[in-house]
A and B are shown apart, each in its own frame.
Chain A
């Protein structure tokens, strides 16, 4: 069980399109404590996903610094970031992005191929991850044999299986109905409360944001509001 603190200082990100500079993040400062569940909200183009990508080491800031645990990301090379991601970050995407030709268990096992461990240990970890997300009985199902909610659970298990410090979720319930969304959010709550994972989740849905401890509102690349949410326990969420 591990978690990491996240710190962004004066983070700027400018995209260039056809020689035109498009500022997305403009001197953002943010600190997320280890083990916190924070949601990111804001209108389209406010920089939510960009911030998530910078914290996940998928992109580099134009200026400022991003620290996750002991890793100062802006100083790391592409190769170092790739290796760091495999050990410290778990991603959950809106569209799941499972490999369609592999079973649920094989999809969950994929990130473990980057680790030196025995097949038996890999199998054990996969079984545990699938058990946590409640899919022990779907291990041999392929993505096209699963519902949307089940696919997202597999994606969560895949993000969880390497025991990362941080879980980054980009609108994980954006493609799901209300009931299934609630189940997924409850699961994320569980990962946060029971396993102590630091979770940063992008969402447009205020109900989804209510599952976090804090909601950060972004507007035009700057932090507009940092709101502490009333804590929703796993038990309450389940009820």
Chain B
């Protein structure tokens, strides 16, 4: 092997534990970067898909947690009696839910049975599913992620305890596992069944958490976004109408501001990696001052010594970066974890381009980490360095 490369390789393995720990310190933030980027991109893809669905979301003006009267629906529908521009209005009420003796929370929504299939055509794709939905008041559409988590399948009878009134267990019949829907974790059932249960328990009826409105075109979307709010202006139940992308984005942001927090997390961990790698390179420099001074006394220029240190830093961080990018890539594309689901995201897609970016970030970490000791080596005065060792 070429002596230059051999020297570099031997320097990398000179203190194996230190090198391995530095690689790990770089790999971990890279894993976090790759995963968070995949989640953020998946979330953005979800929002883009929501934007393509030409749907409006209508909530109570002050807060999403305040319900709206179900009676708003005919008033909204009256804005377009032909039904050509305002295709369907679907009221929804969130009940959350869980199954008995299981702490895992569910996201379950009661929806208007008649307009749900038109409003959300990505569900109930087959005729027999649609027929079961219409026929059976206790029909339940489950997300495929939920099906995977709880082992539920079409035809199963399941009991869900709502997190809100009526609080009493409700029995459902699974009619679909919504294989093609973008949201894998939400369950849907008929609102008339909920109203029936609320009536039995004496809890307030006739309320919805929000409406989803399917429009005929982008122009209709823009038109009704304004028209609906104008319709209920100055009424006791004023509305806030947004397109689905804005609504979902606001909902997620209010809940946990996922994209921003993930980006902050990734940035902070990358910064920590820079500090860890810089610390290693500084320790290496301190350990080898006499060696660098000797090389310079032999006629090795500052540039050569600079390149040596930077190469070592780059290689260490590149190794960490490649390992950090490879771990999530392999896990989420070649192991059973590829079926792992994240709320709102269909599939955690670890794109090779993101892995490439991650390796570039690792190289940048290497450059930054090696910058200070490399500069010190360039400035190293041979006589001073050798004297300090005597």
A residues near B (Cβ < 8 Å) are: 53, 56, 58-59, 79, 82-87, 91, 93-95, 97, 99-102, 106, 109-111, 113-114, 158
Contact = CB atoms under 8 A, between A and B. Distances in A.
Contact of B386 (A86, A93, A101): A93
A91 B10 contact: no
Given A58-B383, A97-B291, A102 B297 contact: no
A110 B6 contact: no
Given A85-B298, A87-B299, A101-B10, A106 B3 contact: yes
B7 A102 contact: yes
Contact of A99 (B7, B13, B297): B7
Contacts of A58: 297, 382-383
Nearest to A81: B299
B291 A99 contact: yes
Q: Do most interface residues of chain B lie in helix, strand or loop, or is the interface mixed?
A: helix
Nearest to B386: A93
A97 B3 contact: no
Given A95-B389, A97-B291, A111 B383 contact: no
Contact of A85 (B293, B299, B389): B299
A109 B3 contact: yes
B20 interface: no
A210 B276 CA distance: 53
A210 to B, nearest CB: 25
Interface string B270-289: 00000000000000000000
Q: Do most interface residues of chain A lie in helix, strand or loop, or is the interface mixed?
A: helix
A148 to B, nearest CB: 16
B249 interface: no
16 contacts: A53-B383, A58-B382, A79-B301, A82-B296, A83-B299, A85-B298, A95-B389, A99-B7, A99-B291, A100-B14, A102-B6, A109-B3, A110-B298, A111-B298, A114-B298, A114-B300
Given A93-B386, A95-B389, A82 B301 contact: yes
B11 interface: yes
A158 B299 CA distance: 12
A113 B4 contact: yes
A110 B295 contact: yes
B311 interface: no
Interface residues on B, range: 20 to 34
A97 B7 contact: no
Contacts of B13: 101
B86 to A, nearest CB: 76
Given A97-B291, A102-B10, A113-B3, A91 B298 contact: yes
Interface of B: 3-4, 6-7, 10-11, 13-14, 290-291, 293-302, 382-383, 386, 389-390
A101 B11 contact: yes
B299 A86 contact: yes
B384 to A, nearest CB: 9
Contacts of B297: 56, 58, 85, 91
A23 to B, nearest CB: 16
Nearest to A168: B297
Given A85-B298, A101-B7, A110-B3, 20 more contacts: A53-B382, A56-B297, A59-B383, A82-B300, A82-B301, A83-B299, A84-B299, A85-B297, A91-B297, A95-B389, A97-B290, A97-B293, A99-B291, A99-B294, A100-B14, A101-B11, A101-B14, A102-B10, A106-B7, A111-B298
Contacts of A99: 7, 291, 294
Nearest to B4: A113
Nearest to A170: B386
B383 A93 contact: no
A106 B300 CA distance: 16
A113 B7 CA distance: 12
Contacts of A86: 298-300
Contacts of B296: 82
A81 to B, nearest CB: 9
Nearest to B299: A86
Contacts of A56: 297
A219 to B, nearest CB: 21
B176 to A, nearest CB: 65
Contacts of B386: 93
Q: Which 5 A-B pairs have the closest CB atoms?
A: A86-B299, A101-B10, A97-B294, A85-B299, A111-B298
A106 B299 contact: no
Given A58-B383, A95-B389, A113-B4, A82 B290 contact: no
A82 B302 CA distance: 9
B299 A114 contact: yes
A114 B295 CA distance: 11
Nearest to B2: A119
A86 B11 CA distance: 23
A94 B300 CA distance: 20
A87 to B, nearest CB: 7
